[in-house]
Amino acid sequence: MSDPTIKGLPPPPTKYDGSNFRIAIVHARWNDAIIKALLEGTINKLKEQGVKQENIVVKSVPGSYELPFATKQLIEAGKTQSANAAPSMIASTTNLLSLIDNTTSQPSGDSQKSENTNTNTGGALTKPFDAIISIGCLIKGSTMHFEYICDAVTHGLMRVQLDTGTPVVFGVLTALNDDQALERAGIGRTEKGKGHNHGEDWGLAAVELATQNQDWVKGVL
Ligand code: RBF
C-alpha cells in the first residue's frame, strides 16, 4: 500500500460554475513538452467547471521571464476591449427602446434590423478577464540564471495581481531537474509513476478565485 500523503490541493469546498467567466492563459514556450501537458490539464479543468472554449483566450511568450509583462498587458487589453465594446451595447439598448416606441407609432422596417446586429463575434464574452493563468516551466541549469528568473517571475506575477485586482494563478514550475518537471506535468518517466498534472489545480484555482472575487469587488463576503 502506498503511503498516504498530506500534500496537495484537496477538492474545492463547493462546485464552482465557470460558465460566465472569461479566462486568459499566457504560457511560455521553453520546455515545450511540459508546457503542452500543463496547458492541456489547465484547459480540461476549466472546461470541466463550465468555462466555454470561446471564453478561454490563450497567448504565448518565449520564456517565463516574459510572463509578468504579458500577464499585465493581457489584463489591460481585456479591460480596454471591454470598454470599446460598451458603446455598441449602449447602442443596442437604445435600439431596443426605439423598437418599443415604434410599436405604437410605426411598423419596424429593414433599417432597424440592420441596426440591431450583434457585434459580439461568435458569442464570446468581451468583458475584462475574470482571472488569468500564467504558465511556465523553469528547470535549473548550471548557472545562477534559474534563481534570478524564478525570483523575478514570482515577484512579478504577485505584483501584477495586486496592482490590477485581477486574480493571477501562478502556473510556474520551478524544478531542479527534468524528472521533477515531468512528474509535475503528469508525464513522469520515473518508477514513482507519471505524477500529477498541476495544470488541473491551476484551472480549479482560476474559477474559484474568479467566483470569490466577483463577490469581493461588490463588498459581499
Ligand atoms: N525560460 C523558461 O521558461 N524556462 C527555463 O528553464 C529557461 N531557462 C533559461 C536558461 C537560460 C540560460 C536563458 C538565457 C534563458 C532561459 N529561459 C528560460 C528564457 C527566459 O525566460 C527568457 O525568455 C529570456 O531570457 C529572454 O528574456
Domain residue extents for the chain: 23-82+126-216
Predicted structure pTM score: 0.86
Mutate to test the pocket of ligand 1, among 27, 34, 65 (most ligand atoms within 8 A of CB): 65
What pLDDT sits at residue 138?
98
In the reported structure, the alpha carbon of residue 64 is separated from the centroid of ligand 1 by a whole-number distance in angstroms of 7
pLDDT of residue 102 exceeding 70: no
In the reported structure, the alpha carbon of residue 137 is separated from the centroid of ligand 1 by a whole-number distance in angstroms of 9
In the reported structure, the alpha carbon of residue 154 is separated from the centroid of ligand 1 by a whole-number distance in angstroms of 14
Tell me which residue has its CA closest to atom 6 in ligand 1: 138
For ligand 1, residues with CB inside 6 Å are 28, 30-31, 62-66, 136-139, 141, 145, 149
Per-residue confidence at 94, pLDDT binned at 50, 70, 90? Answer: low
Starting from the edge strand earliest in sequence, which strands make up the sheet with 56-61, in order? 56-61, 23-28, 131-139, 168-175
* CA distance linking residue 19 with residue 22, whole number of Å: 9
Per-residue confidence at 91, pLDDT binned at 50, 70, 90? Answer: low
Write the CB contacts of 211 (distance below 8 Å, at least 6 apart in sequence): 16, 17, 18
State the DSSP code for 134: E
State the DSSP code for 169: E
Would you call 82 exposed, middle or buried from its count of C-beta atoms within 10 A (0-12, 13-18, 19+)?
middle
Do 61 and 33 form a contact (C-beta atoms < 8 A)?
Answer: no
Q: Is 155 a residue of the active site? A: no
Catalytic residue among 145, 155, 196, 198: 145
Do 43 and 150 form a contact (C-beta atoms < 8 A)?
Answer: no
Tell me which residue has its CA closest to atom 8 in ligand 1: 138
In the reported structure, the alpha carbon of residue 201 is separated from the centroid of ligand 1 by a whole-number distance in angstroms of 24
* CA distance linking residue 122 with residue 114, whole number of Å: 17
Q: What is the dihedral of CA 65, 211, 57, 79, to 10 degrees?
A: -80
Which of 177, 187, 184, 188 shows the shortest CA–CA distance to 199?
Answer: 184
Q: What is the pLDDT of residues 122-181, one digit of tens each?
A: 789 999 999 999 999 999 999 999 999 999 999 999 999 999 999 999 999 999 999 999
Q: What number is the average pLDDT over the span 38-60?
A: 98
Q: CA distances (Å), 91 to each of 81, 122, 131, 163, in order?
A: 16, 19, 28, 32
Which of 33, 41, 51 shows the shortest CA–CA distance to 131?
Answer: 51
| Strand, coil or helix: 107 | coil
What pLDDT sits at residue 214?
97
- Topology of the domain comprising 23-82+126-216: Rossmann fold (3.40.50)
- Average pLDDT of the chain? 87
| CA atoms within 13 A of residue 142's CA, in its CB half-sphere | 0
Phi and psi angles of residue 138, each rounded to the nearest 5 degrees, phi first = -105, 130
